[in-house]
């Protein structure tokens, strides 16, 4: 059997660089190397692309930067006689059959690198330009969800220019629209980076200033007494949803450290919800995915109000975490699809999307 050449692309310039390293190390460990020749291409925090060949441990701990082979040429732009692929020092060129981005956050999950992949004309894993950009932008995504009739908590928004020039007026507007607690989120960031829960005006001011470090547009959401429910989706046109899982945060909310570092939160898979609610959430996850023109994979997050029982969609993550404690592979495993099979499915979906 001829092996497919698969290039894992990881790292990147976003604040989620370290998350990408953890996800990539896990995928590299689990991918079936009897089926695939795996090439690992890292992007440094300052945007340099480098070829690395070695163990997943050195990807995870960041040592790949020092061990990368700087004499290997990476070319993704078809031009003249230059082939798309990886050119080694001896002149050998390995063409890439499938690009597998493992890049979370800006420059990797927001449609920018997907545009490069489209130009390269090489099949790639995951959502395309439109779905990636919409899914990454919490504000635009909320407007899309409203259009397709998915329920959401009350929200408002501001931007750096308005806030810097009319700080007190903007704070007044937010407090008039929402009650405390209020969640503050950068519009374009994932993995809970830059998110804070605020309970008074001083915390709100600090939270907005923190979020503005990551983006010029800020989303503010009404905090509710919520259960946090997640669903994994997989597919191009025939989309499937996993059983839902429930996160039980160790803190006020499921933050970056808990997701990727200490893993202190617990979870239930399947979530302890009735079958009607489970069915509704899985259906809404597929609707959300199709609503942004998703392909390949996403994780869709929901809230269930503990007081009213109402279900609200929170957000969609078009390139969810793949670490050993990430919910996406765990939910599929409980649904009957193991980690290796997820990877196989994603590669097949990438190839099918270009037929």
Q: Which residues are annotated as a binding site for ATP?
A: 138, 183-185, 191-192, 221-228, 314-315
Catalytic (active site) residue 265:
no
> Which one-letter DSSP state was computed for residue 229?
E
Helix/strand/coil for 200 = coil
Given 191, 196, 242, 265, the catalytic residue: 191
Mapped onto helix, strand or coil, the DSSP state of residue 240 is strand
DSSP states of 40-73 = EEEE-TTS-EEEE-S-HHHHHTSTHHHH-BTTSE
Q: Is 308 annotated in the active site?
A: no
> Can you tell me the distance from the alpha carbon of 38 to that of 41, in angstroms, rounded to the nearest whole number?
10
Query: Is there a cis peptide before residue 270, judged by omega within 30 degrees of 0?
Result: yes
Q: How far is CA 195 from CA 152, 191, 213, in A?
A: 18, 9, 11
Within 10 Å of residue 174's Cβ, how many Cβ atoms? 21
Pick out the residues of the known binding site for Mg(2+).
301, 315, 317
Number of separate helices (H) and strands (E) present in the chain: 13, 17
Rounded Cα distance between 111 and 22, Å, is 21
d(CA 23, CA 29): 10
Structure tokens at 136: 């990454």
Question: Of the candidates 194, 230, 212, which has an alpha carbon nearest to the alpha carbon of residue 16?
Answer: 194
Q: Which of 14, 16, 109, 132 is catalytic?
A: 16
CB 17 within 8 A of CB 256: no
Q: In this structure, are strands 85-87 and 93-94 parallel, antiparallel, or unpaired?
A: antiparallel
The bridge status of strand 155-159 relative to strand 196-198 is: unpaired
Any catalytic annotation for residue 191? yes
Catalytic residue among 20, 196, 298, 326: 326
Annotated binding site: 138, 183-185, 191-192, 221-228, 301, 314-315, 317
DSSP-based three-state secondary structure for 254: coil
d(CA 10, CA 38): 13
Q: Which tokens in the block code for residue 105? A: 């956050």
| Torsion-angle region of 253 (φ positive above 0: left; ψ -120 to 50: alpha; else: beta) | beta
Q: Which residues are catalytic?
A: 16, 191, 326
């Amino acid at each position: 059997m001829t092996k497919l050449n698969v290039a894992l692309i990881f790292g990147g310039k976003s604040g989620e660089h370290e998350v990408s390293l953890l996800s990539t190390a896990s995928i590299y460990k689990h991918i079936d190397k009897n089926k695939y020749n795996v090439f690992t291409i890292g992007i440094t925090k300052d945007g340099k692309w480098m070829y690395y060949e070695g163990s997943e441990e050195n990807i995870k701990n960041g040592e790949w930067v020092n061990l990368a082979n700087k004499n290997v040429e990476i070319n993704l732009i078809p031009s003249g006689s230059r082939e798309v692929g990886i050119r080694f020092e001896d002149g050998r060129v390995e063409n890439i059959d499938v690009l597998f981005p493992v890049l979370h956050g800006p420059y990797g999950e927001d449609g920018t690198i997907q545009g490069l992949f489209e130009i390269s004309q090489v099949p790639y894993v995951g959502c395309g330009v439109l779905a990636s950009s919409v899914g990454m932008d919490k504000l635009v995504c909320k407007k899309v969800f409203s259009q397709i009739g998915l329920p959401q908590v009350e929200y408002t928004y501001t931007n750096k220019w308005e806030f810097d020039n009319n700080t007190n007026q903007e704070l007044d507007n937010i407090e008039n629209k929402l009650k405390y607690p209020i969640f503050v989120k950068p519009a374009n960031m994932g993995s809970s980076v830059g998110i804070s829960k605020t309970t008074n005006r001083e915390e709100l001011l600090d939270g907005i200033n923190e979020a503005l470090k990551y983006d010029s547009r800020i989303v503010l959401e009404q905090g509710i007494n919520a259960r946090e429910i997640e669903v994994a989706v997989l597919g191009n046109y025939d989309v499937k949803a996993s059983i839902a899982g429930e996160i039980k945060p160790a803190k006020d909310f499921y933050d970056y450290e808990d997701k990727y570092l200490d893993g202190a939160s617990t979870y239930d898979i399947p979530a302890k919800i009735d079958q009607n609610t489970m069915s509704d959430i899985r259906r809404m996850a597929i609707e959300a995915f199709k609503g942004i023109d998703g392909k390949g994979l996403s994780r869709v997050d929901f809230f269930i109000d503990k007081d009213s029982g109402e279900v609200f969609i929170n957000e969609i993550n078009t390139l969810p975490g793949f670490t050993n404690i990430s919910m996406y592979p765990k939910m599929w495993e409980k649904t009957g699809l193991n980690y290796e099979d997820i990877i196989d499915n994603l590669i097949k979906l990438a190839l099918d999307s270009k037929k």
